């Protein structure tokens, strides 16, 4: 009986690891300040071959819980958070004014752009 219980726990943990590392189906929205909200689309990044662990473990660019990190453009411009990859080499740059609309989308009432949200632009290789 004890062996069956241990086996059940082991199998549950083993089978759930894939779910823990899977990219969530939804999107995460951030306020984005005066430039408009930012929607992080995990699928866009997963389609480029990235896994959650690439940003949420070593190097730990982001905490797993929304709101734990205070993400600023100043930090990104120095290579932190999104800026670690969005440097103009690995992916479009967070510093390029023409690329702002790839992440920032102003609300319809704010006369904003038609941004792709979530970095919908093509990544540079």
Give residue-wise pLDDT tens across range 9-52.
Answer: 665 655 555 555 444 556 888 888 899 999 999 899 999 999 98
**Computed over its alpha carbons, how large is the radius of gyration of the chain?**
18
Length of the chain measured in residues: 125
pLDDT of res. 95: 95
pLDDT above 70 as % of the chain: 66
Count of H-run helices and E-run strands, the chain = 4, 3
Q: For the residues 101-106, what does the mean pLDDT come to?
A: 92
Domains of the chain, start order: 24-110 (3.90.10.10)
Average pLDDT of the residues in 79-107: 94
pTM: predicted TM-score of the whole model, two decimal places = 0.64
CB 71 within 8 A of CB 30: yes
Is the pLDDT confidence value at 98 over 90? yes
CA angle 65, 69, 73 (to 5 degrees): 135
Q: Find the helix or strand (DSSP H, E) in which 27 lies.
A: strand 27-30
Inform me whether the pLDDT recorded for 91 exceeds 90.
yes
Classify the phi-psi angles of 117: left when phi > 0, otherwise alpha if psi is within -120 to 50, otherwise beta: left
């Amino acid at each position: 009986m004890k062996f069956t219980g241990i086996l059940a726990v082991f199998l549950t943990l083993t089978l759930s690891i894939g779910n823990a590392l899977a990219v969530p189906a939804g999107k995460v929205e951030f306020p984005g300040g005066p430039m408009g909200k930012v929607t992080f689309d995990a699928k866009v990044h997963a389609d480029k071959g990235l896994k959650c662990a690439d940003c949420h473990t070593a190097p730990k660019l982001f905490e797993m819980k929304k709101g734990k990190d205070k993400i600023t453009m100043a930090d990104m411009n120095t290579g932190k958070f999104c800026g670690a990859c969005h440097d103009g080499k690995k992916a479009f740059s967070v510093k390029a004014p023409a690329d702002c609309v790839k992440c920032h989308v102003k609300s319809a009432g704010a006369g904003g752009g038609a941004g792709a949200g979530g970095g919908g632009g093509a990544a540079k290789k």
